[in-house]
Amino acid sequence: MSYTPSGAYEPSFWSIGSHDLKYTERVGLTDATTNTNWVANLAVYVPFTTDIAGTVYEWWWYNGTLTTAHNIAFGIYNLDFTAVQRLTGVAGGTTASAINNTTTWTDLVLQPGSYYMAMADDSTRNFLTSADALGLYQASGVMEQTGLGAGPALPDPMVPLVYARAFLPYFGMNLRTTAV
């Protein structure tokens, strides 16, 4: 009788981020150290996969050096572009160069699978981003949508376009109950 090992147990990690080498197919390599001005009412969609059921408790993002007031939105989408869950109209904070968390996201048990994580903002303030050639983000499967409604309102379903940005914001979801 051959040896059959039991299924290894791997707990869910603390976070799944837009630049995560394990959960995203990142082709570029620059660190998220650049302050890049946003395009008002732009949404970015980053494909990711997870093999572990985990609870998404909140979202985090990193504001840049500006102190402009802004509203931010996050969401998770299925591969058919329909929304799993969205949170819009979050006050984005005015402190420069600071990491921030949402506080009103409804806990979501995310099943193993492939999804898109979404981030949108209604201002032109800056965020901490990586700054690779735009094609390297396209090759990772990243997409965008412009002209979102007030909120910014992440749509359902999303209607994405080819990614046209040479940057990607540094954001992600918390899989732990304690905020960053």
Partner 1 sequence: MSYTPANIVMPDPVFLSTYSMRSLQPLFSGARQSAAASGTYAATNRIHYAPFFVSKPYSLARWFWLNGATVGTDYIQTAIYDQDLNLFKSSPRTLSAGTVNSNQYATPGVHGTNVTSGSDSTDATSYTTASVTLKAGVLYLMSVENSKATADVVSSIDSGPTFTSRSTVAFNTNANRQSIWSAVPTTDYTGTLVINFGGGNTQTGAAWSLDAFYHVDTATTDGIVQNATGTGNSVTPLATLAAFGSANNATYGAFGVASTSAGAAESASYVELSDITAATPAQGTHTYYRPDNDTTVSCTITSAQWGACAVEIKSLGTGAITIPPMRGYLAIHCSGTTATLFRRIHLSLEPSMYLQSSAATGFPATATLAASLGALYVYGFTSRATV
What are the residues binding partner 1 (CB under 8 A)?
Answer: 6-10, 21-22, 24-30, 47, 49-53, 79, 112-114, 132-136, 138-141, 143, 160-162
The sheet carrying 58-62 orders its strands as 15-17, 171-174, 58-62, 99-101
Judged by beta carbon, residue 22 or residue 97, the one nearer partner 1 is: 22
Q: How far is the CB of 25 from partner 1 (least distance, A)?
A: 4
What distance in Å separates the CA atoms of residue 135 and residue 119, rounded to the nearest whole number?
A: 19
Q: Which residue has the tokens 């979102």?
A: 148
Q: How far is the CB of 135 from partner 1 (least distance, A)?
A: 5
Q: How far is the CB of 30 from partner 1 (least distance, A)?
A: 7
CB-CB contact of 125 with 38 (8 Å): yes
Judged by beta carbon, residue 49 or residue 94, the one nearer partner 1 is: 49
Judged by beta carbon, residue 23 or residue 60, the one nearer partner 1 is: 23
Judged by beta carbon, residue 51 or residue 107, the one nearer partner 1 is: 51
Judged by beta carbon, residue 71 or residue 138, the one nearer partner 1 is: 138
Q: How far is the CB of 113 from partner 1 (least distance, A)?
A: 6
Q: How many CB atoms lie within 10 A of CB 130?
A: 22
The sheet carrying 42-50 orders its strands as 83-91, 71-77, 113-121, 42-50, 143-145, 161-162
Q: How far is the CB of 92 from partner 1 (least distance, A)?
A: 27
Residue 81 in tokens:
């572009």
Q: Which residue has the tokens 């690779």?
A: 132
